[in-house]
Amino acid sequence: MENIIVIGGGLMGTSVTWKLAEQGEKVVLLEQQSESYDNGSSYGAARISRSLGPKKDIFSFVHNRTVKEVGKLIEFLNTETTTKNHAMEDVYSTSPVSYLYKKDQYDAIRKLRYKKQRYDYRRASGNSAFRKFGVTLKEDEILVREYKTHSGTINPSALLEKLRLGINKKGGQVKFNTKVVKLVKKEGVFEIEVLNGKTNKKTTIKAKKVVVAAGPYTVSVLKDFAPYFNRIITPKRVLLAYYKIADERFQQLSELEIKSIFAAQPMFSQIGKEYFSMVERVEDNGSPIIKAGGHQIRRNILDLDKVWDLAPRKKELKWIKKKFRKYMEMLEIFLKKKEIELVDAYNCVYSETRTKVPLVTHIKNQFGALDRDIVVIGGMSGVGAKGCLGYGVIGANLITGNAGESSKIYKRAVRKFGSPGNRLWTKRPRRGRLF
């Protein structure tokens, strides 16, 4: 029998597994994909890493805690390997983070400027935006920029690799090609039926405790233990597109224009459907491949296993390309449609809660009883990668029964990520239904 099983080998599951292994716990991580990890929310080389938020903001807390924890992981790996070639820069690319607001959102903007982060924060509108940032804004817009070490982008693939290495060196196990098809609890013991992706054979693993961090697959994993979870978390599809400026046009750009493009990435618009963009990688000729999408353009999913291979919708690609072009025009770089090339596009799948606030919490079983031997980490809804180890710390403390930490912001985060309002079970069901 295993002590703790973690289901799901993306950033959430791998982060909590690392924290448990670091604490000396016997822990096994199950991942349905191979080591290459081609599908999932943690796929790719860039996510926006940002800490700017109002005072007592729990998402700023998990970001800052993740930076701290990555530092500890890097230090550990460099003591355990002879080459000592691990660095924070493998995971983080520091650059200004741009946030675009409407002026009528000023109350939200004002809350960002408090004592502890006032030196990390600059804002401008109108003509001052061009003087300060080289960006042309509409009259009703405000641009905010965050300047902080390790804010910019985080590389999920690089962090996953380091977390797995740390788990192995601490005595934990990672089992790939292992898909969980059933989870039940009998006589105080979890029975986890798994399917081997290579042999297609099923086996059963027993464990004292379980952490479910299966992203959009969380609902299917919990269908027997907590069948009501299809009302807690809903998988949503978000299209991601990768664009570049055509080589011939890129060669015509001045050094100042190229510098302006990099300085304006990543960006996160708070207007409308919340367009975002960031540099995924740079080609040999210096041209950036820019990852872009609409954070709030989310679609329901009929078949979760097939969604990864669905062809991108032309309507969505057209919207992203238009936003890409408009943002370049804000930088005074004017491109024709044919001068913007689509490099790649794929469907990213988020798990989304009703309140859009993630869950890191004990849950109730099918009979309505709270079970402290199981923790669910999910519903990240696009705010997972930057705070993965922050969520992992909380999840590890919950599953081991650790009292956690005494800081007010840690306790606030625990309450918010585990609040009954997110679980939907605060009211008694009608007509005899449990949930």
Higher local confidence (pLDDT), 257 or 313:
257
* Closest to 20 (Cα-Cα) out of 389, 374, 400, 414: 400
What whole-number distance in Å separates Cα of residue 145 and Cα of residue 102? 14
The pLDDT tens digits of the residues spanning 174-185 come to 999 999 999 999
Rg (CA), the chain: 22
Residue 384 is inside which H or E element, if any?
A: none
Q: What token pair was written down for 95?
A: 């650059």
* pLDDT band for position 431 (cuts 50, 70, 90): very low
Is the pLDDT assigned to residue 194 strictly greater than 70? yes
What whole-number distance in Å separates Cα of residue 169 and Cα of residue 82? 13
185 Cβ contact list (under 8 Å, min separation 6): 191, 225, 365, 371, 373, 374
pTM of the model: 0.93
* Closest to 249 (Cα-Cα) out of 321, 336, 326: 336
The pLDDT tens digits of the residues spanning 31-87 come to 998 888 777 777 788 999 999 999 899 999 999 999 999 999 999 999 987 777 999
**In contact, 92 and 154? CB cutoff 8 Å:** yes
Backbone angles phi, psi at 324, to 5 degrees: -60, -50
End-to-end CA distance of the chain: 31
Ordered structural domains, the chain, with CATH: 2-70+156-232+355-423 (3.50.50.60), 96-152+235-352 (3.30.9.10)
**In contact, 144 and 112? CB cutoff 8 Å:** yes
